[in-house]
């Protein structure tokens, strides 16, 4: 084999090597990205998974670079291309000499020698930028992702900043032996199946997971131990089970709290770890909202009876079902009837979908609604949480069909339905609106102000008319123009009586001159039966209410009349006192008319008429009830003791302390910390260290001050409670005070 | 002459004299018996001189000397005018002040330069004529005032007076937290710092002074004692159960206090409710029955309806036992009918609402349509432009509080629980019987190895122990139950004294190191010396005498010469 051939062979091998190297550099760059993302974002790939990922990636890279495509022929082409001195004859070096012509053979030899001389100039194509560029870029990106706080881990389980191994310390400070060390520590969290989330594992012992998740701890020690368990701050213990030299325990996460690892070595010495936190995250309730529809809708009879709306729903882990709960009310007053129905959306929610938008059209005729009826409905949504799904509902929406056969009152605001179940509510609403009008006066145009004031005056009149109904059962009168008209009619009749010719003359310019309206006959005042007759005509003779109520109602209407007057005169501030007074009177009437009913299910003993109202108090006994005052005990005694103890320690020269005080304080703080575990974790850890004397002597003062501050923050604020003042009065002062009082009183 | 002489050896001087006389007699008799009569008289005289010198050597005589020096100039800490004083008074005696300076060292006229003589040594000056050259006020914190003992839940408010540290910042911190801070103004300035500690116990806060560049200049200890809120007993007298009494009952329960409620069912028939009190029933109000309570809350109508003897029992209980009575009067006509000891003048009010400020809210509380008119001794608790809504007046040892609030429970119903609690806290505190305090240790600063005064109120002599030592008590001549004494604390930090030698009755106090609050010490010293200088009067001073010892060498020389003569004279005969 000629030297030229060997050179070409060598070139081929080098070239292949470069391509393989380039593919390897790409592989390293890509794998570093994968590794960083996996560890940062908790994708959950273990080492085996990474190897499995590596193989196909490298295969793809090899398929891309195809180092096997570089053969000796290609090397020869490359030499021909790059070396002019090869005179495009490098291919001769790979040809079989026996098949070559004499000239070709000569050329072959010549080129071989020449190439051998120029061997150092022959090298494969080297694209440094192409080779190293992507590698450097990928490695840089990986490094930035790893260290930059902008790429903070979203999964607290995989917080790279704190994956320190579990360190155990002996609870007995006299024990000098080194405790067993942890070789591997893993906590894996399996969220509830319905969430569809994957399990995660981490070496970080602070766990934050969904309620209902299954948390599994796996520990491996470097030496045999007797027993290992998890101990919560509340005192509950859960033993690990041994499996193949590893210890495992699995618990269901139901509430937040704190825990620590405790193990006993073969000498039954107890060792404890630091305190770690368990954060139980709740599955949030779904969110539902109805759009495209006003809260109160009133339809006319001739309007289409379709109510269309859109409901937007979303949930963190998935929706399960949604339905519309509709209630139809028919009638009013005591004869009102309710009928509830459950309606479904046209397109049901697909189980597990995180969000959904559904339209629905409710046909009121399908619900057999008639004018005057009202429909109340809301949308109820469930999520996929197991075993008890979360439920939410939207606001209640109101739809009614106006009944034009009833007299209605114009109400302020955008209310579409008659929301006046209480007769006396309107006056309060009028006051509110009047006050609002006065307040908005600077920003309103005069025209609008006057218009609104007039509208309020009209509403006041309408209210007054309504109350006027109660003054007489069948007459809608009150101190109104009608009453005024009646007074005028009465005056007219009186004038007629005084004129003897009135009966015979044809009076013009009088009302009813052509007797078009039948006149009422005047009652005979001397009618002896008047006192015994039930008169429905005269509102003054109505017996609907007792006299005092009637008087109050009349007074209220008087006030309403004055209020209306000032509202019509665009002076609402002057009408307010009258409105207040009217409201006050109405409230008094309401309270007067209130009846009291006893609780259901209570049958009082029958009243003994012979004893009733006799005033016999023989059997009425004096009763003393003794209550236990549960607030007398000192709250958080251990924390208070620790606070004071730390204060004493700060003043003392030696820092020798009683660790049990801090242990008790830690137990008490654990009870408070359940509500806010994150807030008190540092304090609990510090108390733990103090209780097992694992604080360095030079750090002790700083830790004590920190713990004192944390404990003081943990104590809730005191209630404002009366306190006795201290006072020292000697005999002279007492004498002086007595004399002073005597002089003042004289 | 004799009144101007004396001897130092006052113990057993008679033995020395008698012994000397006997020796003299013996030696003289021996001398007279001698056959050699030459120079007998001279020898006797020598014997007398020798024995007399010997006796006087033992007795150490002195003579009283009138101090005829006119002026003493005391140079105390901070003295700056030494040179000018020396020029002005070249004949005066200059003394550097120290603890060893005695009263006898001072002339009738004294000039004090510097910050002055310490307060506890001012007695040494006596009734001399003092001139005090007042120095410039020290710069820094020159006064601190605060209550060092507060009850649980109360705020600690510290008033600090400063001089010449404009731009500096004072920070109050403790329990690892910064509570309050203030920036000092020009010249003399006063700032207030406050904090609230939630835990009962004894704490030492720190008042730090930082300059304008946030450098720490000084840090002083501020000791505070948070006492647990003492539980008290309240008696509520109702005609019938009301919402007001119900909410008040809940408030007292939540605060951990005891109450006893009496509601009337009929004449002589009552219904009682007790929480933590030892009272079972109270059909009749008696002085003895009311004594255990600290406050009584009663409706005006109910008070008027009580029989006269029960009204008198109430009055006596307030007057003699110091408890307070809160009379809720919802009607002006009822106020008119109150007994004389509870009555207060009143007038019609323009409105029936009181605006209560609470947590930036302006809340309306209903009141009766009248207001009380404050009298000479009355103290207003709540008032508006119309007059007093709640006012208290002393009655004997106790107080009578009149209130025209109505339906305060509506605050609680409306959700303003804080406002309701604060309102009733103030109302109850205005009538609560004060807790008798038998001790008082001045809240001024106490320093180690310096005298600290304390007072004790006791009808009988008590035993007070500090450490292992009993403290002697001095009874006040005019107020027999008042005893005072001085304690010399010898430990820094928290100390205590026990009354009757028992730890159950222990009073704690804090002792600072001698250099603490230096500028305050200087300021107070200047004030005390100024006061003394103003009070002294040159014309009333009397000359002060001093004892001057006669040098014993004289007697020794006389004795030696006499003995030498007696011994040598026979040899030279």
| Nearest-by-Cβ selection for A718 from B198, B424, B435 | B198
Reported as a pLDDT band with limits 50, 70 and 90, residue A45 is: low
Q: How far is CA A347 from the centre of its chain?
A: 28
Take residue A344 and report the two structure tokens written for it: 């479904």
pLDDT in tens, B300-346: 888 998 999 999 999 999 988 888 999 987 776 778 888 888 888 88
Q: What is the Cα–Cα distance from B505 to A726, expressed in whole angstroms?
A: 16
Mutation test of the interface with chain A: which of B256, B396, B493, choosing the one with the most A Cβ atoms within 10 A? B256
Statement to judge: residues A238 and A268 lie in one domain? yes
Residue A522 predicted with pLDDT over 80 = no
Secondary structure of residue A304 in the 3-state scheme: coil
Phi-psi region for residue B313, left (φ > 0), alpha (ψ -120 to 50) or beta?
Answer: alpha
Residue A495 to residues A492, A502, A504, A538: CA-CA distances in angstroms?
5, 9, 14, 21
Q: Which of A267, A264, A228 is nearest to A245 (CA)?
A: A228
Considering the domain boundaries, does residue B436 fall inside one? no
Considering the domain boundaries, does residue A249 fall inside one? yes
Q: Which of A325, A382, A310 is nearest to A352 (CA)?
A: A382
Q: What is the Cα–Cα distance from A223 to A265, expressed in whole angstroms?
A: 9
Considering the domain boundaries, does residue A198 fall inside one? yes
DSSP letter assigned to residue B512: E
Statement to judge: residues B284 and B362 lie in one domain? yes
Q: What is the Cα–Cα distance from A282 to A213, expressed in whole angstroms?
A: 11
- Checking ipTM against 0.90, whether it exceeds it is no
Q: Which residue of chain B comes nearest to A627, CA vs CA?
A: B275
Q: Quick one: pLDDT at residue A312?
A: 93
Statement to judge: residues A445 and A582 lie in one domain? yes
Q: Which residues contact A246 (CB under 8 A, 6 or more apart)?
A: A184, A218, A219, A220
For residue A393, what is the domain's CATH number? 2.60.40.2060
Reported as a pLDDT band with limits 50, 70 and 90, residue B173 is: very high
Considering the domain boundaries, does residue A739 fall inside one? no
CA distance B314 to chain A (A): 16
Statement to judge: residues B418 and B465 lie in one domain? no
**Burial zone of A192 (CB within 10 Å; 0-12 exposed, 13-18 middle, 19+ buried):** buried
Statement to judge: residues B30 and B124 lie in one domain? no
Q: How many CB atoms within 10 Å of residue A613?
A: 7
* Alpha carbon distance, N-terminus to C-terminus of chain A: 143
B177·A712 Cβ contact <8 A: yes
Residue A124 to residues A24, A66, A76, A77: CA-CA distances in angstroms?
18, 15, 11, 11
| Nearest-by-Cβ selection for B175 from A709, A719, A720 | A709
Considering the domain boundaries, does residue A654 fall inside one? yes
Statement to judge: residues A293 and A397 lie in one domain? yes
For residue A222, what is the domain's CATH number? 2.60.40.10
- Is the distance from CB of A704 to CB of A658 less than 8 angstroms? no
Query: Which of B400, B431, B462 is the endpoint of a domain?
Result: B431
Residue-number span of the structural domain to which B165 is assigned: 147-229
Residue A675 predicted with pLDDT over 80 = no
Q: Which residue of chain A comes nearest to B201, CA vs CA?
A: A644
Q: Quick one: pLDDT at residue A411?
A: 46
For residue B344, what is the domain's CATH number? 3.40.50.880
Establish whether the linkage from the previous residue to A387 is cis, with ω within 30° of 0.
yes
pLDDT in tens, B254-286: 888 999 999 988 877 888 999 888 888 888 899
Q: Which of A355-359, A602-606, B156-160, B351-355 has the lowest mean pLDDT?
A: A602-606
A708·B176 Cβ contact <8 A: yes
Mean of pLDDT values over A51-71: 88
More confident residue, A173 or A325: A325
Q: Quick one: pLDDT at residue A420?
A: 47
pLDDT in tens, A573-620: 999 999 999 998 888 887 775 666 655 666 677 888 887 788 777 777
DSSP letter assigned to residue B571: T
Considering the domain boundaries, does residue B125 fall inside one? yes
Residue owning tokens 């009555």 = B343
Q: What is the Cα–Cα distance from A287 to A289, expressed in whole angstroms?
A: 7
DSSP letter assigned to residue A320: E
- Is the distance from CB of B154 to CB of A722 less than 8 angstroms? no
How many domains are contained in chain B?
5
Statement to judge: residues B37 and B130 lie in one domain? no
Considering the domain boundaries, does residue B351 fall inside one? yes
Statement to judge: residues B247 and B358 lie in one domain? yes
Bridge partner list, B150: B226
More confident residue, B408 or B68: B408
Q: Which of A210-224, A509-523, B117-131 has the lowest mean pLDDT?
A: A509-523
Statement to judge: residues A41 and A112 lie in one domain? yes
Reported as a pLDDT band with limits 50, 70 and 90, residue B53 is: very high
B203·A727 Cβ contact <8 A: no
A721·B271 Cβ contact <8 A: no
Considering the domain boundaries, does residue B99 fall inside one? yes
Considering the domain boundaries, does residue B573 fall inside one? no
Statement to judge: residues B274 and B409 lie in one domain? yes
Residue B456 predicted with pLDDT over 90 = no
Considering the domain boundaries, does residue B418 fall inside one? yes
Q: What is the Cα–Cα distance from A86 to A503, expressed in whole angstroms?
A: 151
Statement to judge: residues A86 and A144 lie in one domain? yes
Query: Which of A121, A149, A177 is the endpoint of a domain?
Result: A149
Statement to judge: residues A31 and A107 lie in one domain? yes
Q: What is the Cα–Cα distance from A28 to A44, expressed in whole angstroms?
A: 20
For residue B491, what is the domain's CATH number? 2.60.40.10
Residue B170 predicted with pLDDT over 90 = yes
Reported as a pLDDT band with limits 50, 70 and 90, residue B291 is: very high
Statement to judge: residues B73 and B132 lie in one domain? yes
Residue B557 predicted with pLDDT over 90 = yes
Considering the domain boundaries, does residue A564 fall inside one? yes
pLDDT in tens, B71-88: 888 899 888 888 888 888
Statement to judge: residues B468 and B424 lie in one domain? no
Considering chain A, what is the average pLDDT of its residues?
A: 80
Reported as a pLDDT band with limits 50, 70 and 90, residue A724 is: confident
Helix, strand, coil in percent for chain A, rounding step 5? 45, 20, 40
Contacts of B440 in chain A (CB under 8 A): 728
For residue B221, what is the domain's CATH number? 2.60.40.2550
Q: Which residues contact B337 (CB under 8 A, 6 or more apart)?
A: B300, B304
Q: Quick one: pLDDT at residue A539?
A: 54
Reported as a pLDDT band with limits 50, 70 and 90, residue A493 is: very low
Take residue A186 and report the two structure tokens written for it: 């893993």
How many domains are contained in chain A?
5
DSSP H/E element including A26: helix A3-41
Statement to judge: residues A580 and A482 lie in one domain? yes
Residue-level length of chain A: 746
Q: Quick one: pLDDT at residue A535?
A: 55
Considering the domain boundaries, does residue A162 fall inside one? yes
B377·A629 Cβ contact <8 A: no
Residue B127 predicted with pLDDT over 80 = no
Q: Quick one: pLDDT at residue A16?
A: 92
A625·B274 Cβ contact <8 A: yes
> Which segments within A384-429 are labelled E, that is strand?
391-393, 397-401
| Nearest-by-Cβ selection for A647 from B203, B422, B435 | B203
Residue A487 predicted with pLDDT over 50 = no
Statement to judge: residues A104 and A222 lie in one domain? no
Bridge partner list, A185: A219
- Is the distance from CB of B84 to CB of B60 less than 8 angstroms? no
Contacts of B457 in chain A (CB under 8 A): 728, 730
Reported as a pLDDT band with limits 50, 70 and 90, residue B194 is: very high
Q: Which residues contact A512 (CB under 8 A, 6 or more apart)?
A: A519
pLDDT in tens, A86-126: 888 888 888 887 888 888 888 888 888 888 888 888 888 88
Considering the domain boundaries, does residue B439 fall inside one? no
Q: Which of B390, B371, B369, B372 is nearest to B380 (CA)?
A: B390
Query: Which of A149, A171, A190 is the endpoint of a domain?
Result: A149
More confident residue, A64 or A656: A64
Statement to judge: residues A332 and A243 lie in one domain? no
Residue A116 to residues A8, A16, A76, A95, A99: CA-CA distances in angstroms?
10, 21, 13, 17, 22
Q: What is the Cα–Cα distance from A195 to B9, expressed in whole angstroms?
A: 105
Statement to judge: residues B60 and B127 lie in one domain? no
What pTM was estimated for this model as a whole?
Answer: 0.57
Statement to judge: residues A548 and A688 lie in one domain? no
Considering the domain boundaries, does residue B317 fall inside one? yes
Mean of pLDDT values over B408-419: 90
Q: Which of B140, B148, B107 is nearest to B126 (CA)?
A: B107
Mean of pLDDT values over A49-73: 87
Considering the domain boundaries, does residue A202 fall inside one? yes
Q: Quick one: pLDDT at residue A616?
A: 77
B199·A712 Cβ contact <8 A: yes
Q: What is the Cα–Cα distance from A369 to B17, expressed in whole angstroms?
A: 137
Q: Quick one: pLDDT at residue A157?
A: 45
| Nearest-by-Cβ selection for A644 from B202, B274, B375 | B202
Residue B262 to residues A26, A631, B238, B282: CA-CA distances in angstroms?
91, 22, 6, 7
Residue B172 predicted with pLDDT over 90 = yes
Secondary structure of residue B244 in the 3-state scheme: helix
Considering the domain boundaries, does residue A620 fall inside one? no
Statement to judge: residues B266 and B305 lie in one domain? yes
pLDDT in tens, A256-307: 888 999 988 888 888 888 888 888 898 999 999 998 888 888 888 888 889 9
Residue-number span of the structural domain to which A379 is assigned: 287-401
Query: Residues of chain A with pLDDT > 90: what percent?
Result: 21
Q: Which of A158-162, A332-336, A378-382, B383-387 has the lowest mean pLDDT?
A: A158-162
A721·B424 Cβ contact <8 A: no
Query: Residues of chain A with pLDDT > 70: what percent?
Result: 79
Statement to judge: residues A78 and A217 lie in one domain? no
Statement to judge: residues A42 and A65 lie in one domain? yes
Three-state SS string over B167-231 comes to: CCEEEEEECCEEEEEEECCCCEEEEEEEECCCCCEEEEEEEEEECCCCCEEEEEEEEEEEECCCC
pLDDT in tens, B372-404: 988 888 899 999 888 899 999 988 888 999 999
Q: Which residues contact B286 (CB under 8 A, 6 or more apart)?
A: B310, B313
CA distance B399 to chain A (A): 11
Residue A491 predicted with pLDDT over 50 = no
């Amino acid at each position: 084999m000629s030297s030229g051939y060997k050179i070409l062979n060598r070139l081929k091998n080098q070239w292949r090597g470069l391509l393989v190297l380039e593919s390897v550099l790409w592989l390293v760059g890509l794998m570093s990205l994968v590794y960083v993302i996996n560890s940062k974002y908790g994708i959950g790939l273990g080492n085996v998974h990474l190897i499995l990922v590596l193989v196909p990636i490298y295969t793809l890279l090899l398929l891309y670079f195809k180092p096997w495509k570089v053969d000796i022929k290609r090397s020869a082409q490359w030499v021909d291309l790059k070396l002019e001195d090869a005179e495009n004859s490098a291919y001769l070096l790979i040809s079989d000499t026996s098949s070559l012509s004499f000239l070709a053979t000569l050329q072959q030899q010549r080129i071989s020698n020449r190439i051998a001389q120029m061997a150092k100039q022959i090298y494969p194509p080297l694209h440094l930028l192409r080779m190293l560029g992507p590698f450097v870029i990928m490695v840089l990106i990986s490094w930035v992702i790893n260290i930059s706080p902008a790429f903070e881990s979203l999964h607290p389980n995989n917080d790279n900043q704190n994956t320190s191994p579990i360190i155990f310390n002996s609870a007995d400070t006299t024990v000098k032996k080194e405790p067993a060390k942890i070789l591997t520590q893993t906590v894996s969290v399996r969220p509830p199946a319905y969430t569809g989330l994957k399990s995660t594992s981490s070496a970080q012992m602070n766990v934050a997971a969904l309620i209902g998740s299954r948390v599994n701890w796996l520990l491996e020690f470097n030496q045999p131990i007797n027993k290992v368990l998890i101990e919560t701050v509340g005192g509950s213990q859960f033993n690990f089970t041994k499996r193949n030299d590893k210890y495992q325990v699995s618990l269901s996460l139901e509430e937040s709290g704190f825990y620590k690892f405790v193990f006993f070595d073969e000498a039954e010495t107890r060792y404890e770890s630091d305190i770690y936190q368990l954060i139980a995250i709740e599955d949030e309730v779904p969110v539902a909202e109805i759009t495209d529809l006003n809260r109160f809708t009133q339809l006319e009879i001739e309007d289409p009876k379709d109510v269309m709306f859109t409901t937007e729903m979303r949930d963190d882990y998935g929706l399960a079902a949604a339905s519309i709960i509709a209630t139809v009310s028919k009638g009013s007053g005591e004869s009102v009837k309710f009928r509830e129905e459950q309606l479904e959306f046209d397109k049901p929610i697909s189980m597990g979908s995180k969000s959904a938008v559904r339209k629905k059209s409710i046909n009121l005729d399908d619900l057999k609604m008639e004018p005057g009826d009202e429909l109340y409905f809301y949308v109820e949504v469930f999520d996929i949480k197991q075993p008890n799904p979360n439920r939410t509902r939207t606001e209640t929406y109101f739809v009614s069909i106006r009944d034009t056969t009833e007299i209605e009152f114009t109400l302020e605001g955008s209310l579409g339905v008659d929301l006046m179940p209480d007769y006396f509510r309107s006056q309060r609403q009028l006051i509110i609106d009047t006050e609002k009008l006065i307040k908005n006066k600077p920003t309103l145009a005069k025209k609008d102000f006057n218009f609104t004031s007039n509208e309020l005056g009209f509403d006041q009149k309408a209210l007054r008319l309504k109350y006027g109904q109660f003054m007489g059962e069948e007459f809608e009168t009150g101190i109104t123009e009608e009453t005024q008209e009646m007074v005028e009619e009465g005056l007219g009749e009186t004038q007629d009586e005084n004129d003897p010719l009135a009966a015979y003359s044809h009076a013009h310019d009088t009302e009813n001159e052509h007797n078009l309206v039948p006149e009422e006959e005047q009652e005979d005042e001397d009618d002896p039966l008047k006192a015994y007759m039930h008169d429905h005509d005269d509102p003054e003779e109505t017996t609907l209410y007792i006299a005092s109520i009637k008087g109050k109602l009349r007074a209220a209407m008087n006030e309403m009349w004055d209020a209306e007057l000032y509202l019509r005169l665009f002076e609402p501030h002057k009408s307010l006192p009258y409105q207040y007074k009217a409201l006050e009177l109405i409230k008094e009437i309401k309270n007067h008319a209130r009846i009291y009913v006893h609780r259901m299910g209570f049958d009082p003993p029958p009243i003994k008429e012979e004893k009733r109202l006799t005033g016999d108090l023989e059997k009425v006994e004096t009763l003393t009830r003794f209550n236990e005052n549960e607030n007398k005990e000192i709250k958080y005694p251990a924390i208070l003791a620790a606070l004071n103890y730390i204060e004493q320690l700060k003043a003392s020269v030696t820092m020798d302390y009683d660790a049990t005080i801090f242990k008790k304080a830690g137990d008490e703080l654990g009870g408070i910390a359940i509500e806010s575990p994150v807030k008190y974790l540092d304090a609990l850890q510090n108390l733990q260290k103090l209780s097992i004397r694992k604080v360095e002597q030079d750090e002790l003062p700083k830790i004590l001050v920190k713990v004192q501050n944390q404990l003081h923050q943990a104590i809730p604020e005191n209630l404002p409670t009366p306190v006795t003042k201290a006072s020292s009065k000697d005999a002279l002062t007492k004498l002086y005070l007595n004399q002073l009082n005597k002089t003042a009183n004289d | 002459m004799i009144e101007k002489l004396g001897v130092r050896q006052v113990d057993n001087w008679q033995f020395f004299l008698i012994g000397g006389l006997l020796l003299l007699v013996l030696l003289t008799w021996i001398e007279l018996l001698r056959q050699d009569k030459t120079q007998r008289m001279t020898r006797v005289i020598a014997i007398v001189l020798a024995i007399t010198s010997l006796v006087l050597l033992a007795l150490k005589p002195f003579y009283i000397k009138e101090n005829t020096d006119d002026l003493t100039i005391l140079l105390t800490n901070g003295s700056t005018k030494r040179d000018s004083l020396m020029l002005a008074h070249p004949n005066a005696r200059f003394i550097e002040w120290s603890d060893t300076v005695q009263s006898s060292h001072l002339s009738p006229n004294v000039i004090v330069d510097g910050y002055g003589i310490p307060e506890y040594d001012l007695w040494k000056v006596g009734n001399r004529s003092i001139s005090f050259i007042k120095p410039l006020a020290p710069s820094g914190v020159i006064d601190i005032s605060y209550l060092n003992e507060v009850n649980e839940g109360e705020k600690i408010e510290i008033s600090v007076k400063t001089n010449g540290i404009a731009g500096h910042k004072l920070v109050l911190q403790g329990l690892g937290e910064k509570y309050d801070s203030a920036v000092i103004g020009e010249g003399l300035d006063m700032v207030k710092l406050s904090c609230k500690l939630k835990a009962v116990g004894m704490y030492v806060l720190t008042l730090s002074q930082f300059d304008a560049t946030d450098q720490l200049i000084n840090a002083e200890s501020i000791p505070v004692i948070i006492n647990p809120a003492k539980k008290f007993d309240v008696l509520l007298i109702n005609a019938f159960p009301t919402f007001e009494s119900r909410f008040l009952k809940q408030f007292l329960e939540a605060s951990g206090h005891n109450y006893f409620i009496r509601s009337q069912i009929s004449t002589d028939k009552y219904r009682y409710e007790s929480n933590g009190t030892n009272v079972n029933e109270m059909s009749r109000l008696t002085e003895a029955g009311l004594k255990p309570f600290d406050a009584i809350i009663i409706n005006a109508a109910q008070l008027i309806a009580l029989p006269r003897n029960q009204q008198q029992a109430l009055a006596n209980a307030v007057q003699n036992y110091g408890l307070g009575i809160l009379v809720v009067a919802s009607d002006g006509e009822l106020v008119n009918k109150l007994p004389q000891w509870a009555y207060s003048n009143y007038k019609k009010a323009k409105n029936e609402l009181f605006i209560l400020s609470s947590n930036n809210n302006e809340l309306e509380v209903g009141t009766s349509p009248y207001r009380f008119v404050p009298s000479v001794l009355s103290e207003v608790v709540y008032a508006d432009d119309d007059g007093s809504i709640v006012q208290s007046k002393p009655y004997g040892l106790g107080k009578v509080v009149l209130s025209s609030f109505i339906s305060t429970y509506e605050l609680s119903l409306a959700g303003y629980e804080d406002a309701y609690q604060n309102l009733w806290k103030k109302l109850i505190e205005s009538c609560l019987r004060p807790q008798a305090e038998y001790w008082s240790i001045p809240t001024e600063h106490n320093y180690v190895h310096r005298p600290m005064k304390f007072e004790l109120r006791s009808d009988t002599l008590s035993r007070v122990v500090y450490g292992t030592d009993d403290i002697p008590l001095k009874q006040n001549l005019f107020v027999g139950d008042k005893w005072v004494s001085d304690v010399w604390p010898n430990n820094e930090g928290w100390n205590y004294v026990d009354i009757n030698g028992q730890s159950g009755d222990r009073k704690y106090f804090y002792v600072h190191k001698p250099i603490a609050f230096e500028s305050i010490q200087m300021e107070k010293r200047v004030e005390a010396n100024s006061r003394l200088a103003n009070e002294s009067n040159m014309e009333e001073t009397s000359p002060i005498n001093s004892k001057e010892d006669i040098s014993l060498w004289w007697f020794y020389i006389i004795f030696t010469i006499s003995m030498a003569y007696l011994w040598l004279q026979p040899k030279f005969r």
